[in-house]
Structure 1
């Protein structure tokens, strides 16, 4: 419920009282569970990242040196079609520029994703050791991913074909 409200009304226009009312929960109960809106955003981001990162799949592909599995994991990380999640991502990114707590959450997520994408590139190269080259590829990969999310959310349409082509170029250059 909070996710939808943040997407529809923005971070600032969505108050705890509105979230409580729309969720059918007493304001006091919501404050007991989430002392602030930032805590709600943190919970949403954490749940989204667990779903989005799908680290179990990556770990299995790396452990078995399954190159196709690693490539599939990387491709799926950029070619999602989840309009609400993309719009929420943009809302959180905008808020991160103004709110230090949200910025910290956002930075922590970015660091975690960068580490895992770097691991994936190392795995594609047949290595268990992440090098600077893998980190640079991960950075380029994340730039393409974020650009894909922004383009889809702001302009609509499917950017999967272009994203997949760019990602394939990055993957094949490992």
Structure 2
């Protein structure tokens, strides 16, 4: 419920009372569970990251040195279209520019994504350790992914061919 309200109305226009009403929970109970709106955002982000990151698939592919599995994981990440999730992501990013707590949450998302994507590129390059080259590829990958989210949300049109081409170039550059 809170997620939908944040997406529809924005962070500032969504109050705790509205979230409580929409959720059918007393305001006091909501404050006991989430002392601030930022705590609600943190819970939403954590759930979204777990769902999208598909950590088990990546871990298995890296552990088994399954190149096709790693490539499959990488190629589904930026192409995961979720209109509500994309709008939520952009709302968090915009609020992060004004709010240190939200910036910290957003930085946590970025750090987790960077670690996962760096490990994937290390795996593609037959390395057991993440090195600077893997981090650089991960950063380029995230630029493409974040840019794709921004463009498809703002323009309300797919950017899949361009984003897939760029991701393919990054993956091919990681060929040992």
Aligned to 1:122: 122
The reply to whether residue 74 of structure 1 matches residue 74 of structure 2 is yes
For residue 88 of structure 1, report the CA deviation from its aligned partner: 0.4
Long gaps (5+) in structure 2: none
TM-score by length of 1: 0.98
The reply to whether residue 6 of structure 1 matches residue 6 of structure 2 is yes
For residue 109 of structure 1, report the CA deviation from its aligned partner: 1.5
For residue 138 of structure 1, report the CA deviation from its aligned partner: 0.3
- Rounded Cα–Cα distance in structure 2 between residues aligned with 1:164 and 1:71: 12
- Rounded Cα–Cα distance in structure 1 between residues aligned with 2:134 and 2:111: 14
Aligned to 2:59: 59
Aligned to 1:49: 49
- Rounded Cα–Cα distance in structure 1 between residues aligned with 2:109 and 2:83: 20
- Rounded Cα–Cα distance in structure 1 between residues aligned with 2:126 and 2:40: 40
For residue 173 of structure 1, report the CA deviation from its aligned partner: 0.4
Aligned to 1:111: 111
Q: Which runs of 4+ in 1 moved over 2 A?
A: none
- Rounded Cα–Cα distance in structure 1 between residues aligned with 2:136 and 2:51: 24
Aligned to 2:142: 142
Aligned to 2:91: 91
Long gaps (5+) in structure 1: none
For residue 139 of structure 1, report the CA deviation from its aligned partner: 0.3
For residue 38 of structure 1, report the CA deviation from its aligned partner: 0.2
Of 153-162 and 10-19, more deviation after overlay is shown by 153-162
Of 155-164 and 39-48, more deviation after overlay is shown by 155-164
- Rounded Cα–Cα distance in structure 2 between residues aligned with 1:86 and 1:162: 18
Of 68-77 and 155-164, more deviation after overlay is shown by 155-164
- After superposition, give the CA deviation of every residue in 1:22-80 in whole Å (9 maximum; x if it has no partner): 11111111111111100000000000111111110000000111111101111111001
SS at match of 1:78: coil
- Rounded Cα–Cα distance in structure 1 between residues aligned with 2:50 and 2:22: 25
